[in-house]
Amino acid sequence: MVPAPDPAASDPHAAAGPPSASGGAMRLNSVVIYVFELQESVDFYRELLGLEVTVENPTAALLVGGDGSQLYLRSVGPRAPHAIGGIGVQCSVWTAPNEAGLNRCEQVLKRLNAHTTTHVAEGFSWVEGRDPNGVPVMVSHPGPGQAIRHQIISRIYAW
């Protein structure tokens, strides 16, 4: 008996299946944030998230985390518009490596007068603040790999 032909084998444009079937799940690699003042934003994200500046020029910087995550910051000047609630990224959410790391982030946000709230829901906690440009930033612990999210947090409807 001859097996039926595999349609994907004859179609080079056929999908290879879900990402887990092709060697692993997709993960977010980089976030790009346009900012008013580059150095102020670089200092904020370096201190809050412990990112390292790997490339910088007068109008942009690349900050990299220990896990390889990347944050691109690009200065667009003090008069650039940014409407929270409009189309586009509304917030970046990062994961602290442990509870102490989350507490450290909360203290940094408070010291910088950037803390807005702290929450606990479904087995995970998060702190939220605003970066120097008014863009919401959250840090959670444990991450989704350790505390699977079973519902959409109500906070996302408030931006």
Domain that holds residue 103: 28-79+89-157
Q: pLDDT tens-digit profile of 62-118?
A: 999 998 999 999 998 877 777 776 667 788 899 999 999 999 999 999 999 999 999
139: exposed, middle or buried (C-beta count within 10 Å: 0-12, 13-18, 19+)?
A: buried
Q: Is the pLDDT of residue 16 over 90?
A: no
Q: Which two tokens stand for residue 68?
A: 């390889």
Does the residue 42 lie in any domain?
Answer: yes
pTM of the complete model: 0.77
Does the residue 101 lie in any domain?
Answer: yes
Does the residue 32 lie in any domain?
Answer: yes
- As a whole number of Å, the end-to-end CA separation of the chain is 60
Q: What is the CATH number of the domain that holds 104?
A: 3.10.180.10
3-class secondary structure, 131: coil
**Number of domains making up the chain:** 1
pLDDT value of position 86? 67
Percent residues over pLDDT 90 in the chain: 52
Does the residue 49 lie in any domain?
Answer: yes
Does the residue 1 lie in any domain?
Answer: no
